[in-house]
Amino acid sequence: MRCVMIKTSNLRANIFHLLDNVIETGRPLEIERKGKILQIVPKVKTSRLKRLAKHDCIICNPDEIVHIGWEKEWNNDLP
């Protein structure tokens, strides 16, 4: 998992957004301060499956949609 590397000035300006991002993605945040690297890491790792975004999908028998006519949706003006 790749870390996000930022400078302290960026941390100061965007701390709440950056911390929320660590919580949502589970990706550690690395901060450079006086030549040292510090890390903000979520204590409990979240499952990648739990972080998946819900998407719309078609739930039906595939045979029902194979023969749908799409002629009305096609743009006949295209070359």
Domain boundaries, the chain: 4-66
**pLDDT (0 to 100) of residue 1:** 55
CATH of 4-66, one of 1.10.10, 2.40.40, 3.40.1620, 3.30.420: 3.40.1620
**pLDDT (0 to 100) of residue 71:** 75
Are the C-beta atoms of residues 38 and 28 closer than 8 Å to each other? no
**pLDDT (0 to 100) of residue 17:** 92
pLDDT tens column, 20-69? 988 888 888 999 888 899 899 888 766 778 778 888 887 888 888 887 77
